């Protein structure tokens, strides 16, 4: 019984790690689509909008689930909370008619990318440490 619990914790942790990578990759794709929309064709705005609806809140919610199932450290929950808050702020600033609030949209994107990358790196280092010490 204890062995199966440890195995499910480990699987959940690696799924969480995979989701952090997917989320970070989606953010980079978002920046790519914005660049394509600005410098190539406005057709790419639809890709930008569609992609955020697919991953924006969905992936962090699944990250929260697998963080819980994998008994991740407390810092992982803070990262998820930060990501969800910033995604909400992105939706808020994208739909504002007040220009100075809308101009915060790319600044928040930079913060999202930075926090997401920090989450990937910290999770990877933590998983390596846990594997070296043996399962917790």
d(CA 60, CA 62): 5
Say if residues 113 and 28 touch (Cβ distance below 8 Å). Answer: yes
Tens of pLDDT along the chain (136 residues) come to 466 668 888 999 999 999 999 999 999 999 999 999 999 999 999 999 899 999 999 999 999 999 999 999 999 999 999 999 999 999 999 888 888 888 999 999 999 999 999 999 999 999 999 988 876 5
Which strand (E) or helix (H) includes residue 22?
helix 2-39
Does the global pTM surpass 0.85?
A: yes
Where do the structural domains in the chain lie, given as residue ranges?
2-133
């Amino acid at each position: 019984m204890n062995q199966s619990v440890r195995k499910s914790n480990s699987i959940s942790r690696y799924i969480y790690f995979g989701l952090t990578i997917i989320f970070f990759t989606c953010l980079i794709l978002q920046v790519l689509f914005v660049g394509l929309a600005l410098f190539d064709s406005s057709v790419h705005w639809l890709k930008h909008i569609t992609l955020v609806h697919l991953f924006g809140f969905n992936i962090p919610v699944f990250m929260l689930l697998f963080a819980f199932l994998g008994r991740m450290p407390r810092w992982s929950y803070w990262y998820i909370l930060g990501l969800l808050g910033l995604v909400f702020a992105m939706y808020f600033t994208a739909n504002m008619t007040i220009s100075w609030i809308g101009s915060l949209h790319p600044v928040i994107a930079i913060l999202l990318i930075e926090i997401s990358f920090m989450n990937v790196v910290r999770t990877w280092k933590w998983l390596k440490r846990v594997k070296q010490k043996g399962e917790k």
